[in-house]
Amino acid sequence: MLRQVFLRRHNSSPMLRKVYSAAGLVLVFGAGLAAQSTPLIYNRSITNAGSYMPAGLPNGAVAQGSIFTVFGNRLGPSTGVSANAFPLGTTLGGTSINVVQGNTTVAAIPVYVANGQINAIMPSNAPLGNASLQVVTASGKGNLSPVRIVSSAFGIFSALGSGQGPGILQNFISQTNQPINSPTIVAQPGQTITLWGTGLGPVSFPDNMAPQAGNLPVKTEVFVGGISASVLYSGRTPCCSGTDQIVFNVPQNAPQGCWVPVYVRTGGTTISNFVTMAIGPNANSCSTDVLPQFTSGYINGKRIGKALAVRTTTREDVGMIAPVDVTSEYHVSFAFEPNPGPFPFNAAISFPPQGTCTAYTLNGDLLNETGATLLPDVAPTTIPLDWGGPLQLTGPSGSKTLTITFNLARVGFLDGMISNGILAGTLFLNSGSYTMQGFGGMDIGPFTTNFSIPQPVVWTQQDTTDVVTRAQPLTLSWTGGDSGQVIAIVFFAIDLPTNSSEVSVCLAPAGASSITIPADLLSNMPATRNNPLQSKDVIYLIAMSGGSIQPINATGLDVGITEFDSIIGKTVVLQ
């Protein structure tokens, strides 16, 4: 598994396969435009092989001695070649890689080369700072592409090969039995875990030889659900050059759930990507504290569905002449039969436990308005189930047919308004009792479900949350809502010029009225640009109403629920 993970990222991610397929189509379309035959490293495509952390983020550098990934074209043979014996060479399959900084050039050590992708080891003696990478093949030298080299920047390998979701973490049961943790292979508090990744830092022995075991000098910390774990070992694994193991014990007080966030901090400041692990009392199954029936259905491949109503109100006051409040109301319905596989994960379903935080990063603009930019593994690979025609929503303001206003998508706009007299409107999703009605389709039968929308949650410091200092934790508080509600903070930080995004997601403890976002999550967000219009930094407080979560009892649906979400947003400046 591990070998597959770090050698072939794309094959394990349907989302990324789509990207590759799309690129293939474009290649045909645009053939003849670029006539060069030398290797081409794609822009912004050099990353840690475990995290794929975008280079535009503070921790998006490549560590000395780590395995990094390069995407491009004409980088190697059409059929991939892997290095399989020590000593590793500086040429593999006719491909070599130069790391250039001024008059200094060192050779990286390829471990996998193919036409579109290279995985290689950044030499432990590579120059620190800004450098360039160049691929050389029989057809010549390719372009020089920027790379930032640091002493330590750790990336955790993930089971889905996307740098997020279930990590490659082995539950230690015995020397001969160490299965990879998953929602069906669950760790218990106190259990010893072996975490796999790359980027702890340089070594004193040759990078191209079988590594020597031993702790590396960099300070290494592991956090499980935000709780510091005791680290037993942090260094190279003897099997594989450039590959690190961190052995730790699951804290006794670690949160439990199917997707408990795990990250590594090196040197006291640099955090890795966030992966997940399952923790609970039962070794064969896990449970979540948010929508447990729904997530259980997802994990077990049941037919699941949701009918949602959402109101979003965002205060926009960064880069504006005058602040405005923008309110919009939507409805969404979806149902599908997931094919979760051995490592089920979907960032939109696989919530961290309440009281914990996680983060996702992406080379892209997650708030892009003009095209779909999604986290990996969010778009299910299985087909949707048919609800039939539009649903009907009846409440205090009357009855509305939930018209689908996006072709091919069961999403619709209900109402909206903008303050300052810019856009007048009436809102529909006010507090009160509602009835959601479906009329049945090919897969899902008719249903009628009653639910309620409470008085709105109030974000108490919304007006004064203007500047966020990344080096300090950020505490947000609120009042109102209803019993059983789930509060989530979703904090987007997007740097447009480098096309880099981080989104931090924190779920408040049940019944809490405040939550603190740790500085570790904020530290990897890009600072707001001098021209604030080149950044998109916004905090959303999401209240999933407890009274709105009601079962949809319909034939053809194993688990169905209604849901109302109140979302309060605020633009901020990150310093």
Q: Which of residues 301-320 bind another protein (CB under 8 A)?
A: 301-302, 306, 308, 310, 312, 314, 316, 318-320
Q: Determine if 411 is a binding residue for another protein (CB under 8 A).
A: yes
By CB under 8 A, the residues from 48 to 107 that bind another protein are: 56, 73, 100
The residues near 179 (Cβ < 8 Å, ≥ 6 apart) are 170, 171, 173, 185
- Residues 403, 426: Cα–Cα separation, whole Å: 17
128 contributes a contact to another protein by CB under 8 A = no
Of 94, 140, 238, 342, the residue at the interface with another protein (CB under 8 A) is 342
CA distance linking residue 200 with residue 264, whole number of Å: 10
Q: Does 533 sit near another protein (CB under 8 A)?
A: yes
Residue 70 CA from chain centroid, whole number: 20
- Which of the ranges 58-66, 208-216, 241-249, 384-392 carries the binding residues for another protein, by CB under 8 A? 384-392
Structure tokens given for 426: 């009436």
User: 81, 232, 283, 324: which one contacts another protein (CB under 8 A)?
Assistant: 324
Percentages (nearest 5) of helix, strand, coil residues in the chain: 5, 45, 50
SS (H, E, C) 108-137: EEEEEECCCEEEEECCCCCCCEEEEEEEEE
Give the number of other CB atoms < 10 A from CB of residue 365: 18
Q: Is 183 exposed, middle or buried (0-12, 13-18, 19+ CB in 10 A)?
A: buried
Count residues contacting another protein (CB under 8 A)? 126
Size of the chain in residues: 575
Find the shortest distance in angstroms from Cβ 223 to another protein.
20
Q: Which of 505, 554, 559, 572 binds another protein (CB under 8 A)?
A: 505
Residues 11-30 that bind another protein (CB under 8 A): 11-12, 14, 17, 23, 26-27, 29-30
Q: What are phi and psi of 83, to 5 degrees?
A: -75, 135
Quick one: 92 or 318, whose CB is closer to another protein? 318
Which structure tokens are listed for 251?
């804290």
Question: Does the footprint of another protein cover residue 348 (CB under 8 A)?
Answer: yes
**Which residue stretch of 167-175, 223-231, 473-481, 533-541 sits at the interface with another protein (rule: CB under 8 A)?**
533-541
Residue from the set 9, 13, 40, 165 that interacts with another protein by CB under 8 A: 40
**Window 200 to 219, contacts with another protein (CB under 8 A):** none
Task: Give least dist CB 271 to another protein, A.
Answer: 20
Site string for another protein, 539-568 (x = CB under 8 A): -x-x-x------------------x-x-x-
> Using an 8 Å Cβ cutoff, are 19 and 364 in contact?
no
Rounded to a whole number of angstroms, the minimum distance from the CB of residue 219 to another protein is 31
CB of 435 to another protein, least distance (A): 21
Q: Which of 108, 104, 86 is nearest to 96 (CA)?
A: 108
3-state secondary structure 25-51: HHHHHCCCCCCCCCCEEEEEEEEECCC
Amino acid at residue number 67: I
Nearest approach in angstroms of CB 499 to another protein is 4
Answer for which of 70, 118, 375, 474 binds another protein (CB under 8 A) is 375
Show the CA angle centred on residue 20, arms to residues 16 and 23, nearest 5°: 135
* Binding window for another protein (CB under 8 A); candidates: 106-114, 198-206, 381-389, 428-436: 381-389
Q: Which of 70, 507, 554, 561 binds another protein (CB under 8 A)?
A: 507
> Least Å distance between CB 254 and another protein?
21
Q: Could you say whether residue 386 binds another protein (CB under 8 A)?
A: yes
Amino acid in the structure at residue 236: R
Q: Give CA–CA dist 44/53, Å, rounded.
A: 11
Nearer to another protein, 12 or 170 (CB): 12
CB of 49 to another protein, least distance (A): 17
Bridge partner residues of 362 (DSSP):
501
Which residues ranging from 430 to 489 are in contact with another protein (CB under 8 A)?
A: 441-443, 488
Task: For residue 276, state whether it binds another protein (rule: CB under 8 A).
Answer: no
Q: List Cβ neighbours of 264 (8 Å cut-off, separation of 6 or more).
A: 154, 156, 195, 197, 220, 221, 222, 223, 246, 271, 272
Q: Which position among 178, 437, 460, 534 is part of the footprint of another protein (CB under 8 A)?
A: 534
